[in-house]
Amino acid sequence: MELCISNLAWDNTDRLSVYTLLQNNKVTFIEIVLSKLSSKALNEDIDFYLSCQQEWESFGLRAVSMQSIHFGVEDAFLFGTDEQRANLLESTKKAINIASSLEIKNLVFGSPKLRILPENGDDSVAIEFFTELNNYAEQKKCFLNIEANSSQYGTNFLTTTTKVQDFISSNRWNNIWINLDLSTMILEQENISEIISNIKDVRHAHVSIPFLKTNFNEFRIEIEQYISSYKTACIPSFSAPTNDGYFTSAKNMNMLSIEMVSQTTDLELLDNTIKLVQEYL
């Protein structure tokens, strides 16, 4: 099983030191947040991101997923007005375009505050919305992975892993899958082993704790259970790229991505967290 880590975990000014640390820990995959690389995020010139790609690849790293794709996007809501939904659609397509240019196949659709369903609202518009994104992602050879976001993150739509699985299963899109998230499973008190043993359609998975904090050591039991269940289930995850840049469904190529938020860079914390997760891989 391969380990990945999101750049949410460090200050971008310290990235070269982090890349070296990842090398030393034999971590070769990263997940990126555009706004950590540039304050312009979706509006940054693609050449800038291509230069970032060249830099991390010089350290033997490969970006396999993009998250927090709507950071900084304004007046964009899934269940808002037609214009607001169109804004969310176009910003998501922008993210897909950037991911495609960087040969990043996975994008995480979280954004809990942008998918709040109003009281007596109609959630059927979500099907049309994601169907269009499915078709667009398929054209760009990318996959949009919907993440369950706990109600404690401020949303009321697709708040559990089971609800996301049911939503995906009901529509059977080719390029919309699931992003598995441990933090939501903990917050929603889901049965980790039972959920993972029955889940399908997972392309990417986060090892995270509630509110994306960094105290992984306090959640060793849940982390061990999560990883052990994931390995046993042999979910056909496609996060690991083959030499041609596409993905393999081989069981031994499953991938887990460390997700935690830190505004500063603590190399010792990063090193300890990586080693903790690696204990269970």
Determine the Cα–Cα distance for residues 281 and 276; give it in Å rounded to an integer.
Answer: 10
Token readout for 77 is 């809501």
pTM of the predicted structure, to 2 decimals: 0.93
Biggest distance spanned by C-alpha atoms of the chain: 53
In angstroms, the Cα distances linking 279 to 3, 184, 224, 264, 275 are 11, 22, 9, 25, 6
- Give the model confidence (pLDDT) of 98-121 as tens digits: 999 999 999 999 999 999 999 988
| Residue entry with tokens 């540039």 | 38
If you count DSSP H runs as helices and E runs as strands, how many of each does the chain have, helices first? 10, 8
State residue 236's pLDDT score. 56
Burial class (CB in 10 A: 0-12, 13-18, 19+), 227: buried
Number of structural domains, the chain?
1
Sequential pLDDT tens for the chain (281 residues): 899 999 999 999 999 999 999 999 999 999 999 999 999 999 999 999 999 999 999 999 999 999 999 999 999 999 999 999 999 999 999 999 999 999 999 999 999 999 999 998 889 999 999 999 999 999 999 999 999 999 999 999 999 999 999 999 999 899 999 999 999 999 999 999 999 999 888 999 999 999 999 999 999 999 999 999 998 886 555 455 544 343 444 333 478 999 999 989 999 999 999 999 999 99
The closest alpha carbon to 174, from 234, 133, 115, 126, belongs to: 133
CA terminus-to-terminus distance, the chain? 6
Q: Domain range for residue 210?
A: 2-278
CATH number at residue 231: 3.20.20.150
